[in-house]
Amino acid sequence: MRKTVIATAAVLVAVVFFLLATLPPRPSQLVSTGTDPELIRRTIRGAYHVHTDRSDGAASKSIVAAAAARAGLRFLILTDHGDATGIPDPPAYIDGVLCIDAVEISTSGGHYVALDMPPSPYPLGGAPSAVVEDVTRLGGFGIAAHPDHPKAELAWTDWDAPIAGIEWINADAEWRNEGTLQLPRILFAYLLRPAPAIASVFDRPEKTLKRWDRLNSTRQIVALAAVDAHGGAGEEENHGWGGIGPSYDASFRTLTSRVMLERPLSGDAADDARELLEAIRRGSVYSVVDAISPDVALGLESGGFAVRSQLPEGAKAVLISGGDHARRLEVTAAGAPGDPPVPWVLSNWVGRSTTPRPVAGEPDGQRAPTRLQAGEWRVEKDERSQGQIVAESGVVTLRYELGQAPRQSQFVAASTDLAEKSPFSGLVFRGRAASPMRVSVQLRFPPDDLRWVASVYLEPDERDLFVPVDSMQPAERTGGRMPPSESARSLLFVVDLVNARPSDAGHLVVSDLRVIR
Ligand SMILES: [Zn+2]
Ligand SMILES: [Zn+2]
């Protein structure tokens, strides 16, 4: 008995010693001398991508802001999940921290964060390209979230869509892709050194950095470091969600964004938020893994980002160049976690190419569209929704009223049977609606009635619209490859809960329907 106790104690002591020996180092404190004080005043340290109890975060905005203040942050960009129809709180200083509301939108191809955007008139969702288009139209700045997320349905997938920004690293995704065997070690380390423990799971995200660099050769894409903080132990005010994760406090000491403003903050929340968001849009922002060391300063000149503070021993600034004299900066630190090691500091690109991107969604104009071979128009709907259709001389008007909440699968559609004999590559038509909305254009195929869909934006001013067949995505998971276009049995214009809410009512008008062969 006594022997067993002694043996167990010995093993425990050995385990604890092992765990202590493998603790990640504390963040190094560097005495910075000679850094331009004016530059320090204009460089604002904060956290981008933070959740509160308005979605799946553990604590209220004021508690989150207090944690940010303790960690020495000056701003927070709060990105609660939503469909972008909610009215964001105006920017406000809470505990000296500039809190700016943004939104993280779920698409069918990953999460997209929209900054600096008024509420959308209809719920944003569906295809990633549609959400990117809507965010751009609304004047927002959209960021592809956690491209490396281990859960495939959360990782961003549409690299052809004209995104404005990309998360080069996401602390939450890095945490989740670690092996289960590592978790006890990380947990132990977290109890003693929270921020270094979180950073101990970081790696250099090779794939995402390559993708970013490649995209950046055609247009500027701003890269941001996302803490994706949800809060955790001791902060669980949000019992409904019960998230377990690192605390806000620890997250805010792990990974920060440094935004370089044209002037220091004035204390006026609205003005300062404008200045900060403009700087992010310009790419005047760099990322720092504070858990390695928070003490670093970069400056930005026309030639690019440059280190403006003394680097610790073993740290190395690496200039990465693209075409057109474009460059960005990575600073590596000795002993940085990861394999390959995560950059300690990462800047945005400067001197990018200005090659314009081809505008998507335009017919190539090679072949003139021909009239669509279709039959009578009729309404299809679920039993709780209402719809009426008037089709006269090629003008189809659909009036719809979706059934009341709760959300089921309310929909109203204008549908017609197709009699196309030869393949077509796209549909063209003119469309308008009583108020801004998205309508889903769908082709339905025999024998199982599987549908391929793409949504288009309609507004009171009539627009010329083009739906390339190869942009259509399967509506059902079993979809696979689209059958030949000419075998489509019906064409539908569908209003459903992807971009509308229960009880929504209105009308849309579609005319001059043609196909491109
Ligand atoms: Zn997300
Ligand atoms: Zn998130």
DSSP state of 350: B
Cα 438 to Cα 500: distance, rounded to the nearest angstrom: 8
pLDDT computed for residue 1 by the predictor: 65
Q: Tell how far the Cα of 110 is from the centroid of ligand 1, in angstroms.
A: 8
Torsional sign, CA 17, 21, 23, 27: positive
Cα 463 to Cα 5: distance, rounded to the nearest angstrom: 80
pLDDT computed for residue 67 by the predictor: 96
Q: Tell how far the Cα of 104 is from the centroid of ligand 1, in angstroms.
A: 7
Cα 242 to Cα 65: distance, rounded to the nearest angstrom: 20
Q: Tell how far the Cα of 172 is from the centroid of ligand 1, in angstroms.
A: 9
Q: What is the pLDDT averaged over residues 460-481?
A: 90
DSSP state of 338: B
Q: Tell how far the Cα of 275 is from the centroid of ligand 2, in angstroms.
A: 24
Q: Tell how far the Cα of 113 is from the centroid of ligand 1, in angstroms.
A: 8
Cα 286 to Cα 372: distance, rounded to the nearest angstrom: 52
Residue 487, SS3 per DSSP: helix
Q: Tell how far the Cα of 225 is from the centroid of ligand 2, in angstroms.
A: 12
Q: Tell how far the Cα of 383 is from the centroid of ligand 2, in angstroms.
A: 36
290 contacts 251 by C-beta, under 8 angstroms = no
Residue 381, SS3 per DSSP: strand
Residue with tokens 């423990």: 197
Q: What is the DSSP code string of 193-222?
A: -HHHHHHTT----HHHHHHHHHHHTTS--E
φ/ψ of residue 343, rounded to 5: -60, 140
Q: Tell how far the Cα of 246 is from the centroid of ligand 2, in angstroms.
A: 14
Planar angle of CA 203, 179, 293, nearest 5 degrees: 35
Q: Tell how far the Cα of 81 is from the centroid of ligand 1, in angstroms.
A: 8
Q: Which of 255, 258, 319, 252 has the alpha carbon at shortest distance from 284?
A: 258
Q: What is the pLDDT averaged over residues 182-210?
A: 92
Q: What is the pLDDT of residues 384-442, one digit of tens each?
A: 999 999 999 889 999 999 999 999 999 999 999 998 889 999 999 999 999 999 999 99
- Whether 236 shows a pLDDT value over 90: the answer reads no
Tokens of 296: 């670093």
Lowest mean pLDDT among 53-57, 112-116, 324-328, 499-503: 324-328
- First CA to last CA across the chain, in angstroms? 85
Q: Which of 426, 402, 427 has the alpha carbon at shortest distance from 413?
A: 402
DSSP state of 86: S
Q: Is 262 exposed, middle or buried (0-12, 13-18, 19+ CB in 10 A)?
A: exposed
pLDDT computed for residue 187 by the predictor: 87
Which residues have CB under 8 Å from 379's CB, separation 6+?
387, 388, 389, 398, 412, 413, 414, 415
Q: Tell how far the Cα of 170 is from the centroid of ligand 1, in angstroms.
A: 9
Q: Which of 116-125, 149-158, 471-480 has the highest mean pLDDT?
A: 116-125
Write the CA distances from 137 to 57, 131, 141, 459, integer angstroms: 29, 10, 10, 12
Cα 133 to Cα 177: distance, rounded to the nearest angstrom: 30
Q: Tell how far the Cα of 58 is from the centroid of ligand 2, in angstroms.
A: 13
Measured from the alpha carbon of residue 227, the closest ligand is 2
Strand blocks (E) in 386-504: 386-392, 395-401, 411-418, 426-433, 437-445, 450-458, 463-468, 473-474, 490-496
How many residues comprise the chain?
517
Q: Tell how far the Cα of 455 is from the centroid of ligand 2, in angstroms.
A: 25
Residue 112, SS3 per DSSP: strand
Lowest mean pLDDT among 17-26, 180-189, 237-246, 343-352: 237-246
pTM: 0.92
Residue with tokens 């495939």: 152
- Specify the amino acid at residue 98: L
Q: Tell how far the Cα of 146 is from the centroid of ligand 2, in angstroms.
A: 8
Cα 39 to Cα 58: distance, rounded to the nearest angstrom: 35
Q: What is the pLDDT averaged over residues 440-461?
A: 96
pLDDT computed for residue 239 by the predictor: 44
Residue 195, SS3 per DSSP: helix
Measured from the alpha carbon of residue 154, the closest ligand is 1
Q: Tell how far the Cα of 115 is from the centroid of ligand 2, in angstroms.
A: 13
Measured from the alpha carbon of residue 149, the closest ligand is 1
Q: Tell how far the Cα of 126 is from the centroid of ligand 1, in angstroms.
A: 15
Cα 186 to Cα 391: distance, rounded to the nearest angstrom: 65
